[in-house]
Structure 1
Amino acid sequence: MSPVVIGLLLASAFVHAVWNAIIRSGEDRFWSLAIICLVGAMAALPFAIILGLPAAASWPYLILSSVLQIGYCLFLVRAYRDGDLSSVYPIARGSAPLLVTLGAAVVAGELPNTAGLTGICLVSSGILLLTLGSSRPDAKSTVAAFATGVFIASYMVVDGLGVRLSRSATSYAAWQAVAAGFLIPVSYGVIRRRAPGLPRGREGALVVGAGVLGTLGYCIAVWAMSRSTMGGVSAIRETSIVFAALIGTFVLNEKMTPQKFLGVLVVAAGVVCLSAR
């Protein structure tokens, strides 16, 4: 993987941790997520129109990924209802490289080498540390966080397959952002039986900024999967775990216990091993 791709993915990881912190700190997390997605879709739409449609063979993957992201959003909101950012985020994101690696091996024949297998073991051990002891989130938050990881892995593998059939990675990424970005606010309207209100004030400014940056971050990841292995891209992107832990501790005033800190470090070491595939 080239230094440029790695650098872009690390920037994407930092942005992802920031917008998760915004969701976790918001009063209505489902609303924050719906607005973030809507803003991202609106930002991506002009680029999608200019770039044109990707190859027709990639459309089913684009649509399936967008639907899977609705499930991701719902479980993420549930996980953050009672769980801390520095506990929930590592479980959700830390489990994703493991699952993406397994999924890519099954559907695309991308088999991990020794470093990849080591990374899988480290990620699993780190997650175990985060879910045990006095610092662990409650059982429902833990289950929701793992379910979030399953959805993350599912839509990343689907997008990894889709972008390789698209003939234009940038076009696929832009249209994926548009489709998912509009479907998630629609799901908000169906569940809440009202449209999400317009963003206002400081919180509104934060979610608007997060919408633009978050969409750009995932578009980078989708583009990167057209040039590298799915597991490797997912692993480097999930270094956001470290950023999230630091934000949770120093910005949201969450308690960083020695066990939680060790768990974050082990998960981070695992994703680095996975990136070496």
Structure 2
Amino acid sequence: MPLDAFALALGSAFLHALWNLILGRERDPEAATAVALTAAVVLFAPVAAWRFDADTAVWPYIAVTSMLQLAYFAALATAYRHADVSVVYPIARGLAPVLVLLVGVTALGVGASAGQAAGVCLVGLGVVLVRGLRGGAEARAAGAAWGVAVASCIAAYTLVDKHGIEHASPVVYLELGMLPATIGYVGFLLVTEHGGGRVRAAARPLPALAGVLSFVAYALVLAALSRASAASVASVRETSVLIAAFLAAPLAGEHVGPGRLAGAGLVVAGVALIALA
């Protein structure tokens, strides 16, 4: 893997972990997510308009991925209200490629190697360690359940976007998919009780920065993919699981013990096996 591609993928991993930690430490993650989505969509709209490149076949994919993105951000924001980032994030990021692999094997007839099977086992063991075996059972169970929900959304839109991206340039495709998801998410929040006040209270620089970072992280991945294989980029990018685990204590004030760190490490190792096998 070229050094520049490695640096881009690692930078993307850091930014991805950072924007999740920013949203996870917010007092109102749902409202903060609304601010983040709005900031990102508004900022990158001129870029997408300037470099617009999409054919008519993209619209069915945009319709489906928009709904999945809406479900993803709703699940993610709710997860961070009920559980620590250091629990939700490794499960969500680690299980997503496992679910993509399982769908490929069971529904699409794609074969799986011994290395990928071993990777699934490592991810499973890592999730158990992240989830924890003792203490705080109810809270940890909620975090694990929301992590699985987020992972399911990631896996679903990944399978859709794999084909949809063939019909539009990456930034345009992302903007087109995120625009209706953002309108739906923010619109729903505004019509809830005290929704407008919640969004106004969350309209601060940090949540807006989280939205910008999410787009920049994606752009860095695209740049890395132009320089190295998808498998190698994916394996480096999943180091975001470890980065989030290490930064959760100083940035989000979470208690991250050795068991949770070890679990995050196993998740990264398992995803790397799945990607590279």
SS of the residue corresponding to residue 133 of structure 1 reads coil
SS of the residue corresponding to residue 134 of structure 1 reads coil
Which residue of the partner structure matches residue 9 of structure 2? 9
1:73 pairs with 2:73: yes
Which residue of the partner structure matches residue 93 of structure 1? 93
Cα distance in 1 for residues equivalent to 2:3 and 2:181: 29
Asked if structure 2 preserves the Cα contact closer than 8 Å seen for 1:105 and 1:111, the reply is yes
Cα distance in 2 for residues equivalent to 1:98 and 1:228: 22
Gaps in structure 1 of 5+ consecutive residues: none
SS of the residue corresponding to residue 199 of structure 2 reads coil
Q: In 2 relative to 1, CA 2–54 (structure 1 residues): closer, same or farther, beyond 3 Å? A: farther
Alignment of 1:82-231 (within 5 A): 82-105=82-105, 111-134=111-134, 137-164=139-166, 166-192=167-193, 194-195=195-196, 197-198=199-200, 204-221=204-221
Q: In 2 relative to 1, CA 143–229 (structure 1 residues): closer, same or farther, beyond 3 Å? A: farther
Cα distance in 2 for residues equivalent to 1:100 and 1:2: 27
Cα distance in 2 for residues equivalent to 1:146 and 1:36: 23
Asked if structure 1 preserves the Cα contact closer than 8 Å seen for 2:132 and 2:260, the reply is no
Name the stretch that deviates more: 181-190 or 119-128. Answer: 181-190
Which residue of the partner structure matches residue 30 of structure 1? 30
1:83 to partner: Cα distance: 1.4
Asked if structure 1 preserves the Cα contact closer than 8 Å seen for 2:242 and 2:261, the reply is no
1:216 to partner: Cα distance: 2.4
1:167 to partner: Cα distance: 4.9
- Whichever residue aligns with residue 95 of structure 1, its letter is L
SS of the residue corresponding to residue 252 of structure 2 reads coil
Q: In 2 relative to 1, CA 25–244 (structure 1 residues): closer, same or farther, beyond 3 Å? A: same
SS of the residue corresponding to residue 184 of structure 1 reads helix
1:46 to partner: Cα distance: 0.6
1:229 to partner: Cα distance: 8.2
Matched pairs, number: 274
Asked if structure 1 preserves the Cα contact closer than 8 Å seen for 2:5 and 2:225, the reply is no
Name the stretch that deviates more: 248-257 or 35-44. Answer: 248-257
Q: In 2 relative to 1, CA 35–197 (structure 1 residues): closer, same or farther, beyond 3 Å? A: same
1:230 to partner: Cα distance: 7.4
Name the stretch that deviates more: 254-263 or 179-188. Answer: 179-188
- Whichever residue aligns with residue 267 of structure 2, its letter is V
Cα distance in 1 for residues equivalent to 2:105 and 2:230: 10
Q: In 2 relative to 1, CA 170–23 (structure 1 residues): closer, same or farther, beyond 3 Å? A: closer
Under a length normalisation based on structure 2, what TM-score does the superposition of the two structures give?
Answer: 0.85
Asked if structure 2 preserves the Cα contact closer than 8 Å seen for 1:79 and 1:88, the reply is yes
Asked if structure 2 preserves the Cα contact closer than 8 Å seen for 1:249 and 1:255, the reply is yes
Which residue of the partner structure matches residue 254 of structure 2? 254
Asked if structure 2 preserves the Cα contact closer than 8 Å seen for 1:239 and 1:268, the reply is yes
- Whichever residue aligns with residue 155 of structure 1, its letter is Y
Q: In 2 relative to 1, CA 170–29 (structure 1 residues): closer, same or farther, beyond 3 Å? A: closer
Under a length normalisation based on structure 1, what TM-score does the superposition of the two structures give?
Answer: 0.85
1:17 to partner: Cα distance: 0.9
- Whichever residue aligns with residue 44 of structure 1, its letter is F
Which residue of the partner structure matches residue 60 of structure 2? 60
Percent of residue pairs bearing the same amino acid type: 30
Cα distance in 2 for residues equivalent to 1:39 and 1:151: 22
Cα distance in 2 for residues equivalent to 1:265 and 1:73: 25
1:91 to partner: Cα distance: 1.3
SS of the residue corresponding to residue 138 of structure 1 reads helix
Asked if structure 1 preserves the Cα contact closer than 8 Å seen for 2:39 and 2:211, the reply is yes
